Amino acid sequence: MEEIEQILKTEVEKYINKNPYNNDKTISGLANRLKYMKDNADEVTKKVNALSNEYLAKYPDTDVKELTDIASNLVQRFLASPVNG
């Protein structure tokens, strides 16, 4: 399970790091980070789901609840990233 968690974490971090407003600590920067998150939330969710489904296809004995929790937490991390800047 650690393998897929690391894969998903790396993918989500790519999206977080791509946000061009991460270093802008102004109110305007926060607004831009929030817009980036809003514009990319569906894409991140789809990517995490696709990677999770690929993993499940390879390893059908995987604990689906645990994988779902991991994926959900990582998507939430992306959604919280604008606040953390």
pLDDT band, residue 85 (cuts 50/70/90): low
pLDDT, tens only, 15-28: 999 999 988 989 99
pLDDT in tens, 27-56: 999 999 999 999 999 999 999 999 999 999
- The pLDDT of residue 75 is above 90: yes
d(Cα 44, Cα 52) in Å, to the nearest integer? 12
pLDDT > 90: percent of the chain: 89
Residue 45: exposed, middle, or buried by beta-carbon count in 10 A (0-12, 13-18, 19+)? middle
What pTM was estimated for this model as a whole? 0.89
* Band of residue 82 on the pLDDT scale cut at 50, 70, 90: confident
